[in-house]
């Protein structure tokens, strides 16, 4: 029997494929983003489990664009129907603390030292302050890099991204999502319409054609009721063309996000919206204001110009949430409520006497929307309120504590709105078993707004208000308050809990696990996938490259990476070492190599020797030996130039050595040539 003597790093034996039970392979994700082992060889039906270093690690399949110091790659599209779609984890019911992206005004913050800028500061910390002088809609890089938050609530304006029918500009959104992905963060996403976000072109018959939206002109008071905004043109929920345009935007957004699996994976909540005033919250201008000279009654405008009905509002949100559930099947949606948020008009588009039917109650439309969402989508319909402030007993003057303080699960009776407690509509949804969240009130205000969260102490009290008086699992806070708290603390209030935002973030994660144990952990320390062999070229190895997206970048050339190689069945596949009683081996050195390598082998008996260099797909690149050999020691020098007369590119190769039908495969790694 011929025998090949080998002294090498890694050996694989090839032979007749034998049926075997599925196996489980374990991979460690290292702190630098690399993987141990880097290459995993599996058969159809085998499971790979990745063990994370931290709970922000993830596994993202990529397409290789080449290798230099490491992998150069691009993200693959996300395809939930592909049995080998192993992007993950895909977090659901995401918990923790999110900061707010800038939206109104859109300019992001920049950090200045005292004396460097004459802007009106948004926050102070030691000898520094924030100014709204940055890029539009940009969260600070500093914020994305902080470990104490789960992510950012990205607020986009519909008209900023949808500039014409079927025309979209995703550059700003992509810029922010890339930061989320590369910093191991999640993001929430909403598209605002209303006064600042509705595209003008939807009202233009030349541009919109048959899909022209009939404008509804409304006007709102400002400055505490002593003046009015300029009139706004808005779309009505009764206008099918308005629904068409807003929903087409969501379809385009979903398709775009799925073009990059890492971008889609990092999405936490999508937020139904589209009926707005100034913020993305679900609320329309309503009521009559005699001081406004152009539109003295918004309810009249909605009734007469917009043919508004409550049923149209219910249909708008039912259709939108059904669409979001279809477009984002792995995601939850969070409805931002305003309890008295819609015009008081009946289903005959009547807003005043005489009435064919009574007007809806002030809260009725919001109550119905919440009920429909709960019944139609179950836990996937999350409810949040964007107006929580400090605890009532921490205000000036102090108010009575919330009646349900410290009771979990939270049960009524709940305090009415305006008493300083979390919104009772959200609390009641939580009592019914729904997932809930909150957002703090605006980060700045005056004496007329005592609920303002304007410093770290008030931020601590607002977080405690949510923590002690609700079952919410996430909060959204303003970026300037987060920066201020981290730079001056990071303890928010030494005289209260003594906690940092990062510690509160972890508490919300633990609450999510405790209160919803039947749902998957959104931030597990492992991820697994069962692989199938479904290669379009039977007989070739099926190779899947992947990265930890939180430790890599498409703009780098030194990315650590791993690969899962699914092996075909048949007599010539790369399998695991067997226990056939002997092990054919080859000595290859140096390994890894830059330019050339040497192969040493010895024969005990004469026989036919064939030595073929193959890539990971099983394709032959060169034949090193194909001859009958007598017993003895042999050395083969290989210069690293393939049969196409070109230098082999860096990567993983296999040297398949065949002697009298016995096959041994040795893994060889070619690195970047650093000495041209």
Task: Give dist(CA 199, CA 650) in Å, integer.
Answer: 50
Closest C-alpha among 112, 113, 177, 180 to residue 145: 180
Q: Where are the beta strands (DSSP E) in 46-194?
A: 47-51, 60-67, 71-75, 96-100, 110-113, 123-125, 128-131, 151-157, 162-164, 167-168, 186-192
pLDDT recorded at residue 1: 37
The model's pLDDT over 614-635, given as tens digits with 9 standing for 90+, comes to: 887 777 888 889 888 888 888 8
Q: Which residues contact 529 (CB under 8 A, 6 or more apart)?
A: 47, 48, 59, 84, 86, 88
Mean pLDDT of 418-442: 96
354: which residues sit within 8 A by CB, 6+ positions away? none
> Which of 511, 558, 537 is CA-nearest to residue 615?
537
In this predicted model, what pLDDT tens digit does every residue of 84-120 receive, in sequence order?
999 999 999 999 999 999 988 889 999 999 989 889 8
pLDDT top residue among 647 and 174? 174
Q: Is the pLDDT of residue 643 over 80?
A: no
Q: What is the mean pLDDT of residues 440-464?
A: 79
Confidence of residue 674 (pLDDT cuts 50, 70, 90): low
Torsion of CA 57, 58, 64, 70, to 10 degrees: 10
Percentages of the chain per state (helix, strand, coil), in multiples of 5? 25, 30, 50
Report angle CA 535, 539, 544 to the nearest 5 degrees. 40
What percent of the chain clears pLDDT 70, i.e. is strictly above it?
92
Residues 208-219 pLDDT 10s:
999 999 999 999
What ranges make up the beta strands (E) of 223-283?
Answer: 227-228, 232-234, 267-270
DSSP annotation of 528: E
Residue 650: the pLDDT is 82
**Whole-angstrom Cα distance, residue 176 to residue 20?**
47
Report pLDDT for 5.
32
Query: Average pLDDT in the 391-406 region?
Result: 96
Q: 15 or 638: whose pLDDT is higher?
A: 638
Model confidence at 584, pLDDT cuts 50, 70, 90, reads very low
CA gap 132, 390 in Å, rounded: 25
The pLDDT of residue 601 is above 50:
yes
Backbone angles phi, psi at 478, to 5 degrees: -80, 140
Lowest mean pLDDT among 38-42, 258-262, 289-293, 527-531: 289-293
Tens-digit pLDDT profile for residues 313-345: 999 999 999 999 999 999 999 999 999 999 999
- 198 pLDDT higher than 80: yes
Q: Give the span between the Cα atoms of 649 and 672, in whole angstroms.
A: 8
How far is the C-alpha of 251 from the C-alpha of 257, rounded, in Å? Answer: 10
pLDDT at position 451: 56
Per-chain mean pLDDT for the chain: 90
CATH number for the 1-89+524-549 domain, one of 3.40.120, 2.60.40, 2.60.120, 3.30.590? 2.60.40
Query: By C-alpha distance, which of 565, 605, 600 is closest to 585?
Result: 600
pLDDT greater than 80 at residue 454 = yes
Other beta carbons within 10 angstroms of residue 166's beta carbon come to 8
Residue 583 banded pLDDT, cuts 50, 70, 90: very low
**Cα 122 from Cα 129, distance rounded (Å):** 7
**189 has pLDDT over 90:** yes
pLDDT of residue 423: 97
Give 54-83 as a DSSP string: STT--BEEEEEEEESSSEEEEEPPP-TT-T
Q: Does domain 586-670 have CATH number 3.50.50.60?
A: no
Q: What is the pLDDT of residue 462?
A: 97
Q: What is the pLDDT of residue 340?
A: 95
Q: How far is CA 350 from the centre of its chain?
A: 43
Statement: residue 8 has pLDDT above 70: no
**Beta bridge partners of residue 97, listed in sequence order:** 475
pLDDT given for residue 501 in this prediction = 98
Tokens of 610: 């064939």
Query: pTM of the full predicted structure?
Result: 0.84
Instruction: Work out the pLDDT band at 586, boundaries 50, 70, 90.
Output: low
- Maximum pairwise Cα distance, the chain: 109
Encoding tokens for residue 444?
């700045």
pLDDT score, position 20: 62
Q: Of all helices (H) and strands (E), which one includes residue 664?
A: strand 662-670
Instruction: For residue 388, give both structure tokens.
Output: 């929580």
Tell me whether the omega of the peptide bond preceding residue 35 falls within 30 degrees of 0, making it cis. Answer: no
36 C-beta neighbours (distance < 10 Å), count: 11
Pairwise pLDDT comparison (185 vs 575), residue with the higher score: 185
Any idea where the domains of the chain sit in the sequence? 1-89+524-549, 150-330, 586-670
Q: Taking 50 as the threshold, does the pLDDT of residue 581 lie above it?
A: no
């Amino acid at each position: 029997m011929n025998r090949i003597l080998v002294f090498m790093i890694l050996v694989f034996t090839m032979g007749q494929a034998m049926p075997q039970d599925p196996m489980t392979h374990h991979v460690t994700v290292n702190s630098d983003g690399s993987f141990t082992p880097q290459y995993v060889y599996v058969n159809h039906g085998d499971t790979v489990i990745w063990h994370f270093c931290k709970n922000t690690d993830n596994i993202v399949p990529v397409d290789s664009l080449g290798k230099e110091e490491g992998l150069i790659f691009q993200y693959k599209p996300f395809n939930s129907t592909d049995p080998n779609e192993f992007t993950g984890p895909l977090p659901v019911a995401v918990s923790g603390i999110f900061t707010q992206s800038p939206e109104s005004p859109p300019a992001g913050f920049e950090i200045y030292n005292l004396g460097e800028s004459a802007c009106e500061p948004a926050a102070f910390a030691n000898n520094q302050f924030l100014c709204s002088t940055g890029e539009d809609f940009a969260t600070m890089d500093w914020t994305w890099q902080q470990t104490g938050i789960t992510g950012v609530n990205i607020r986009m304006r519909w008209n900023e991204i949808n500039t014409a029918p079927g025309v979209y500009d995703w550059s700003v959104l992509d810029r922010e999502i890339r930061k989320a992905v590369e910093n191991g963060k999640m993001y929430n996403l909403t598209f605002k319409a209303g006064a600042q976000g509705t595209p003008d072109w939807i009202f233009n018959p030349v541009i919109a054609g048959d899909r022209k939206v009939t404008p509804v002109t409304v006007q709102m008071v400002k400055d505490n009721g002593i003046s009015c905004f300029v009139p706004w043109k808005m779309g009505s929920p009764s206008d099918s063309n308005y629904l068409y345009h807003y929903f087409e935007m969501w379809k385009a957004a979903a398709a775009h996000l799925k073009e990059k699996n890492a971008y889609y994976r990092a999405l936490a909540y999508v937020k139904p919206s589209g009926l707005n005033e100034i913020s993305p919250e679900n609320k329309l201008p309503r009521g009559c204001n005699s001081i406004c000279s152009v539109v003295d009654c918004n309810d009249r405008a909605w009734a007469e110009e917009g043919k508004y009905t409550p049923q149209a509002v219910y249909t708008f949100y039912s259709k939108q949430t059904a669409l979001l559930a279809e477009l984002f099947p792995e995601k939850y949606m969070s409805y931002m409520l305003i309890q008295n948020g819609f015009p008081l008009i009946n289903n005959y588009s009547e807003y005043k006497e005489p009435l064919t039917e009574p007007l809806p109650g002030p809260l009725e439309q919001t109550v119905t929307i919440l009920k429909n969402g709960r019944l139609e989508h179950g836990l996937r319909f999350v409810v949040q309120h964007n107006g929580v402030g400090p605890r009532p007993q921490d205000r000036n003057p102090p108010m009575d504590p919330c009646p349900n303080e410290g009771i979990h699960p939270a049960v009524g009776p709940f305090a009415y709105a305006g008493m300083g407690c979390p919104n009772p509509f959200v609390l009641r949804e939580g009592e019914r078993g729904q997932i809930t969240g909150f957002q703090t009130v605006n980060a700045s205000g005056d004496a007329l707004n005592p609920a303002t969260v304007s410093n770290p102490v008030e931020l601590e009290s607002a977080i405690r208000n949510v923590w002690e008086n609700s079952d919410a699992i996430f909060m959204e806070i303003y970026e300037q308050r987060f920066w201020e708290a981290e730079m001056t603390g990071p303890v928010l209030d030494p005289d209260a809990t003594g906690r940092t935002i990062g510690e509160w973030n972890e508490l919300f994660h633990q609450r999510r696990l405790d209160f919803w144990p039947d749902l998957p952990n959104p931030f597990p320390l492992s991820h697994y996938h069962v692989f199938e062999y479904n290669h379009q070229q039977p007989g070739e190895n099926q190779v899947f490259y992947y990265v930890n997206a939180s430790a890599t970048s498409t703009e780098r050339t030194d990315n650590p990476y791993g690969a899962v190689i699914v092996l075909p069945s048949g007599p010539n596949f790369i399998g695991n070492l067997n226990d056939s009683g002997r092990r054919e081996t080859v000595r290859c050195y140096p390994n890894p190599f830059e330019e050339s390598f040497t192969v040493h082998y010895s024969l005990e008996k004469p026989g036919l020797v064939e030595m073929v260099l193959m890539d990971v797909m099983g394709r032959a690149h060169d034949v090193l030996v194909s001859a009958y050999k007598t017993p003895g020691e042999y050395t083969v020098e290989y210069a690293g130039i393939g049969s196409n007369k070109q230098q082999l590119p860096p990567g993983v190769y296999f040297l398949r050595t065949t002697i009298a039908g016995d096959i041994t495969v040795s893994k060889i790694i070619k690195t970047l040539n650093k000495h041209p």
